[in-house]
Structure 1
Amino acid sequence: MFLKKVTIKKEGKTYSYYKIVASYRDKDGKPKHRLIQNLGVLSDEDATRMKMILQVQQDADLSLTKSSDIVVTKHWMFLPILLLHSLWEKFNLHRFFSNGLLTEAMVLNRCIEPRSKIHVMEWVQDTVLPAIHRSSAKPSDFAVYRELDDLNKRESALQAHLYQQLLQFDPSVGEGFFYDITSTYLEGSKCVIAKLGYSRDHRPDLQQIVIALMVTPLGSPFYWKVLEGNTQDVTTLPDVVKELKKRFGLTRCHLVFDRGMVSDDHLNLLERQELTYLSAMDKDEMASHSLFNEFMPEPASKDDYEQILALHEFQPTDENQFFYTREGQIDQRRFIFSFDVTRFYEDIESREKRVAQAMAWITEKNDSLAVAKKSRNKETIERDIKTMIAKRKLKSVLLVTVTPIELTVTKSDKTTRIVQSFRLSAEIDKNKEQQKRRLDGITCFITNDLNIPQRDVIQKYREKNKIEEAFREMKSQLALRPIYLTRPERVKAHVSICIIAYLLINSIEIILRNSGIALSSEELLRQVSSCQLNQVGLKSSTQRSLTITEMTEQQEQWVKLFHCEKMMKPKVINQFDDFLLKNTL
Structure 2
Amino acid sequence: MFIKTNRSVYKNKVSTSKLLCESYWENGTSKTRVIMNLSKLPTLQQLAVEQSLKNTGPKVCINDIKISKGIDYGYAAVVLELMNKLRITETLNKVCKEEAGLIILMILGKIVTKGSKLGIVNWIKRNEFIAKKIGIDITKLNEKHLYAALGDLDNLQKKIEHKWGIYHKKKLKSIYLYDITSFYFEGTQNELSKKGYDRDKKKGNKNIITAGLITNEAGFPLKVEVFEGNMLDFKTVENQINKIKNDFNVDEIIFVGDRGMRIRYNLENMADDSKSGVKYISGLTTDEIKKLETNKIIQLSFFDKELVEVEDGNKRYILCVNPILEQEKKAKRAKRKLKFEAELAALQNAYNKKNERCKNNKKRIASGDKNKKLKTQLTLKDINNLQ
TM-score > 0.5 by shorter chain: yes
Structure 2 partner of 1:75: 71
The structure that has the greater radius of gyration is 1
- Kindly report which structure 2 residues correspond to 1:120-519, keeping only aligned pairs within 5 A, or say none: 120-125=120-125, 126=127, 128-138=129-139, 139-167=141-169, 171=170, 174-205=173-204, 206-262=206-262, 264-268=264-268, 269=270, 272-289=275-292, 293-296=296-299, 300=301, 322-330=305-313, 333-340=314-321, 342=323, 346=327, 349-350=330-331, 353-354=334-335, 356-367=337-348, 369-370=350-351, 375=357, 378=360, 381=364, 385-387=368-370, 389-390=371-372, 393-395=373-375, 397-398=377-378, 400=380
- How far apart are the structure 2 equivalents of 1:81 and 1:358? 49
Structure 2 partner of 1:114: 114
- How far apart are the structure 2 equivalents of 1:344 and 1:142? 48
- How far apart are the structure 1 equivalents of 2:225 and 2:287? 29
Change (3 A) 1:104 1:400: farther
Conserved 8 A contact 1:88-1:94: no
| Cα displacement (A) at 1:324 | 3.5
Conserved 8 A contact 1:197-1:230: yes
Change (3 A) 1:266 1:129: same
Conserved 8 A contact 2:124-2:131: yes
Amino acid at match of 2:296: N
| Cα RMSD after superposing both structures | 3.8
Return 5+ residue gaps in structure 1 as ranges.
Answer: 1-42, 53-64, 301-308, 315-320, 406-421, 424-585
Amino acid at match of 2:185: L
| Cα displacement (A) at 1:351 | 7.4
Structure 2 partner of 1:438: none
Change (3 A) 1:368 1:217: farther
- Kindly report which structure 2 residues correspond to 1:3-18, keeping only aligned pairs within 5 A, or say none: none
How many pairs were matched up? 320
1:332-390 CA distance string (max 9 Å, x none): x3232413384797488457625632542333432564458665895994796242x44
Change (3 A) 1:101 1:289: same
Paired residue secondary structure (2:195): coil
Conserved 8 A contact 2:347-2:358: no
Paired residue secondary structure (2:153): helix
Q: TM-score w.r.t. structure 1 length? A: 0.47
1:218-254 CA distance string (max 9 Å, x none): 2211111111112111211111122223333222211
Structure 1 partner of 2:48: none
- How far apart are the structure 1 equivalents of 2:83 and 2:322? 48
Paired residue secondary structure (2:68): strand
Change (3 A) 1:128 1:94: farther
1:74-126 CA distance string (max 9 Å, x none): 52425325423423646533222302111001112233332212111122331
Change (3 A) 1:404 1:232: same
| Of 273-282 and 366-375, the range deviating more from structure 2 | 366-375
- How far apart are the structure 2 equivalents of 1:194 and 1:380? 41
| Cα displacement (A) at 1:152 | 1.4
- Which structure has more relative contact order (CA 8 Å, sep 6+)? It is 1
Identity of paired residues, percent? Answer: 17
Change (3 A) 1:174 1:280: same
Amino acid at match of 1:145: Y
Paired residue secondary structure (1:72): coil
